Structure 1
Amino acid sequence: MLFVSRWGEILDVALAVKNEGHHVKLFIEDKSSREIGYGFVPKAFDWKKHIKWADYIVFDYTGYGTACEDVRSTGKLVFGGSPYTDRLELDRNFGQAELRRHKIKTLASKDFDSFSDAIGFIEANPNAYVLKPSGNTQELKQLLFVGNDDRGQDVIRMLYAYEKSWGDRFGTFQLQHKVKGVEVSIGAYFNGKQFLQPVNITFEHKKLFPGELGVSTGEMGTSMFWTNDSPLFRRTLKPFESTLAEQGFHGHIDLNCIVNGNGLYPLEFTSRFGYPQVFIQRAGLLDPIGTLLMGVADGTKTQIQVRKGFQVGAYIVVPPFPYDDKKTFELFSKDAVIVFKKDQKEGVHPMHVKKVNEQWLITGNTGIAVLVTGTGITMRDAQRNMYNRIQNVIVNNGYYRTDIGDRWLEDSDKLWSWGLL
């Protein structure tokens, strides 16, 4: 199995597949991330030279859709996206249009490539808005801004700040009407013809600090469960089944939503593995992950064997996360050792690390050290399991959220009352 990775995020999955007895090679596109995985799995320096060697090829990120399609056309079995699913995620306007085409209600939104035009729009249409970068800039999660002012004045101030600091480099962005409710994601694997059952329901914790304070990071941790019967799935991803089949998609897709007593509002697609979603999913799988990936790629798998109950996961990160600051990373975090009090690594997933003399060392440039997962019949059980495992891990200058999973206690009551669980 050949893994083609944008940033090296897929290391943990590649390592699991290797430990299941398969031959594995990992290619990382980003040059500054290429140390990730050394000592864990064999590396490839030009993935195209290993196409003939591979029985299965796994692409781990959005933007590889055309490459996936080209490789599939040669008869190779591919787990990954398509040009259509790339566009669902990267072109927010197209994604929203496709939701409406599939009879799914969306929030009002508008795309801009001019800060002054966006400011003028808010002044003419005062409301609470969410500012979302589009295209490649959307990878910088700290740029996403969720406004709280009902007249949009806080978003206007942010637009002025981005105009001064980013200028034309910011690219296109979207203003979306803000609604209050429960944020929830629906994820599922698609085998080229149909969605696999069960599907995955996740609750992301995106802010840096407990209590949803601080900068947006993309994600600091997630809680989740698997279900065969989901009103959320039936009203979001299920209507896309025939379209994804027409597009030849073999992979994982996720739709992030806000739901409240008035309805369900899809926000954005993730047409690939979610990170850290896939690692926490793995904690709930009874099937080997290699078997799942192959069954999705060749279209033979329709069911997933999973644990009952809940799964949670939290990142342990180091400076300068979530920012990109090479000097700070090299000063505080580069080659720092991850120490285990006891020789027990169950539930500890290597992220941006390498292995030297059996020691785990932090590498790359983002400061994501490990993800620690836990499972349990109740959410509290899963939380205890995870935080007990975290206490076994020593990461100098490391920090993590201490409230991953707490949202479930209130969110579940709301979702039950709205008929969505």
Structure 2
Amino acid sequence: MTTLSKTRKDQTTNEKYNFLFVSKWGESLDVAQAIKEEGHAVKMHVEDKSSREIGYGFVPKVSDWKKHIDWATIIIFDYTGYGKICDDLRKEGKLVFGNSEYTDLLELDRHFGQQELKKHKIKILPSKEFTNFKDAIDYVQKNPDAYVVKPCGETQDLKQLLFVGNDDEGLDVIRMLKAYEKSWGDNFGTFQLQRKVKGVEIAVSAFFNGKNFIQPYNITFEHKKFFPKELGVSTGEMGTSMFWAKNSPIYDATLKKFEPTLAKENFIGHIDINCIVNGNGIYPLEFTSRFGYPQIYIQRDGITEPLGHLFYKIVTGQNFTINTKKGFQIGAYMVVPPFPFNDKKSFELFSKDSVVLFKKEMKEGVHPIHLKKVNSEWLITGNIGIALLVTGTGVTMKDAQRMMQNRINNIIINNSYYRTDIGDRWQEDSDKLWAWGLL
């Protein structure tokens, strides 16, 4: 290492910055708190009114983030929909970690995302977009097959509306579309029918510094269904397992091909592409062009360098390798009623201001989600019912699971529930992925 590069590294490590978090639902609380604990100055704004209490007592909150733009060294946007704002702030010379108009479209407009995959010469699954249920039902009846119903735009935030059909004739999809028609009418918005294929669901993600992707890449296995063994309704997520890799055939076949386009679009942030893979190939399903939840919390446990300096290096376009742990990281949400549904009365009756208790003091592996801190007590707030994300790490998946479960056993939350099988699929999935040459 030259004296000049060593000096720059030392300056980056010792420097303290001002971080302004602009959060849609308060989901970046855990990241903001971690950066605050590293000694940086932090301010956080939560846009959703019913989520405004999230973070109180943990980090300083602001009601109007725009008044603090000049104060901020780095501005972090934690959700889609802020792309144009990010683009404009970057043009003004601000250091921004977040979306762009282009990457907003990749996630929110499923048709656009699929067309961009096709444009970048990436194999995609057949899909068709609809604006009403009658046309979709007619399509399935004329083209019987197994399909996945995927809401587009803002409706896709309601994860329980995503429906994965199992019937080869599409009869279960037709029944679901008729149910949606009765309950939603013309207010459902645009949605997509995508042909279902069997295989292993796997995602690859990476940080992008405005020029290129940063190694290593994050390989993720999501657990979206409410109950163990993938039963019940789809939720945003119940838990995730992951590992970091310096090389990935799935990355090479997907994200890598977007590198020139993302550089042209001046994107600086985190992007993930979810895929179904099998012996016939890699089939991208959808983009997440922001932090993934709970992905970022679990990633944080696998990153062994200060988070604030990591983000500074990314937004200033530095080329480096992220220091990460070997082995596996895993996490499970601990949730309370009415999750995964929205029911204000149930939340206020069973969950609002419930206390998170620890049998013994524990600092690592517990990530506050929809919480506030009052007199040093952690209280559940918001309106959805996600209390904590509890993580574990280990050289093997079993080691990571054991650590996570030990930490969960140390926590008392009245009426809480969580999945007990996060990571169990790895033994079977890894055999398939090795056989297909994808690990």
TM-score tier by shorter-chain length is over 0.9
Q: Deviations over 1:280-319 (max 9, x none)?
A: 0000001111111111111124310000000000000000
User: Could you say which residue in structure 2 is the equivalent of 1:12?
Assistant: 30
Does the residue aligned with 2:124 lie in a helix, a strand or coil?
Answer: coil
2:420 to 402, 412, 415: 402
Distance between the aligned counterparts of 2:332 and 2:313, measured in 1? Answer: 28
Distance between the aligned counterparts of 1:409 and 1:128, measured in 2? Answer: 27
Structure 1 residues 9-408: aligned runs within 5 Å: 9-408=27-426
- Which 5+ residue runs of structure 2 have no aligned equivalent? 1-18
1:127–1:152 CA contact under 8 A, matched in 2:
yes
1:195–1:302 CA contact under 8 A, matched in 2:
no
Distance between the aligned counterparts of 2:114 and 2:135, measured in 1? Answer: 21
Q: Deviations over 1:329-387 (max 9, x none)?
A: 00000000000000113100000000001000000011000000000000000000100
1:57–1:78 CA contact under 8 A, matched in 2:
yes
Distance between the aligned counterparts of 1:277 and 1:44, measured in 2? Answer: 26
Distance between the aligned counterparts of 1:302 and 1:69, measured in 2? Answer: 24
Paired residue total = 421
Does the residue aligned with 1:97 lie in a helix, a strand or coil?
Answer: helix
Q: Deviations over 1:139-161 (max 9, x none)?
A: 00000000011110100000000
227-236 vs 298-307, which moves further = 298-307
Distance between the aligned counterparts of 1:208 and 1:75, measured in 2? Answer: 43
Distance between the aligned counterparts of 1:98 and 1:174, measured in 2? Answer: 16
Does the residue aligned with 1:342 lie in a helix, a strand or coil?
Answer: coil
Q: Deviations over 1:54-87 (max 9, x none)?
A: 0100000011100101111111100001000000
Distance between the aligned counterparts of 1:359 and 1:286, measured in 2? Answer: 28
1:5–1:28 CA contact under 8 A, matched in 2:
yes
With the length of structure 2 as denominator, give the TM-score of the two structures: 0.95
Distance between the aligned counterparts of 1:206 and 1:302, measured in 2? Answer: 33
CA RMSD of aligned residues (A): 0.6
Does the residue aligned with 1:197 lie in a helix, a strand or coil?
Answer: strand
Does the residue aligned with 1:370 lie in a helix, a strand or coil?
Answer: strand
Q: Deviations over 1:226-269 (max 9, x none)?
A: 00011111011000000000000000000000000111100000
Does the residue aligned with 1:170 lie in a helix, a strand or coil?
Answer: coil
Give the residue type in structure 1 aligned to 2:244.
Answer: W
Distance between the aligned counterparts of 2:320 and 2:181, measured in 1? Answer: 48
Give the residue type in structure 1 aligned to 2:402.
Answer: R
Give the residue type in structure 1 aligned to 2:207.
Answer: Y
1:191–1:302 CA contact under 8 A, matched in 2:
no
Give the residue type in structure 1 aligned to 2:218.
Answer: N
Does the residue aligned with 1:168 lie in a helix, a strand or coil?
Answer: coil
Distance between the aligned counterparts of 2:313 and 2:27, measured in 1? Answer: 21
1:108–1:176 CA contact under 8 A, matched in 2:
yes
Q: Deviations over 1:13-56 (max 9, x none)?
A: 00000000000000000011010000000001101000000010
Distance between the aligned counterparts of 1:191 and 1:72, measured in 2? Answer: 13
Distance between the aligned counterparts of 1:219 and 1:290, measured in 2? Answer: 26
State, as a whole percentage, how many aligned pairs show the same letter.
71
Give the residue type in structure 2 aligned to 1:410.
Answer: E
1:35–1:354 CA contact under 8 A, matched in 2:
yes
1:292–1:301 CA contact under 8 A, matched in 2:
no
Give the residue type in structure 2 aligned to 1:282.
Answer: R
Distance between the aligned counterparts of 1:252 and 1:302, measured in 2? Answer: 15
Distance between the aligned counterparts of 1:175 and 1:73, measured in 2? Answer: 38
Distance between the aligned counterparts of 2:174 and 2:269, measured in 1? Answer: 38
Distance between the aligned counterparts of 1:197 and 1:300, measured in 2? Answer: 12
Distance between the aligned counterparts of 2:363 and 2:70, measured in 1? Answer: 35
Does the residue aligned with 1:196 lie in a helix, a strand or coil?
Answer: strand
Distance between the aligned counterparts of 1:366 and 1:182, measured in 2? Answer: 29
Give the residue type in structure 2 aligned to 1:270.
Answer: T
Distance between the aligned counterparts of 2:247 and 2:92, measured in 1? Answer: 37
- Which 5+ residue runs of structure 1 have no aligned equivalent? none
Does the residue aligned with 2:214 lie in a helix, a strand or coil?
Answer: coil
- 4+ runs of 1 displaced by more than 2 Å? none
1:197–1:302 CA contact under 8 A, matched in 2:
yes
Q: Deviations over 1:130-175 (max 9, x none)?
A: 0000000000000000001111010000000000001111101000
Give the residue type in structure 1 aligned to 2:387.
Answer: A
User: Could you say which residue in structure 2 is the equivalent of 1:417?
Assistant: 435
Give the residue type in structure 1 aligned to 2:266.
Answer: G
Q: Deviations over 1:182-211 (max 9, x none)?
A: 000001000000000000000000001111
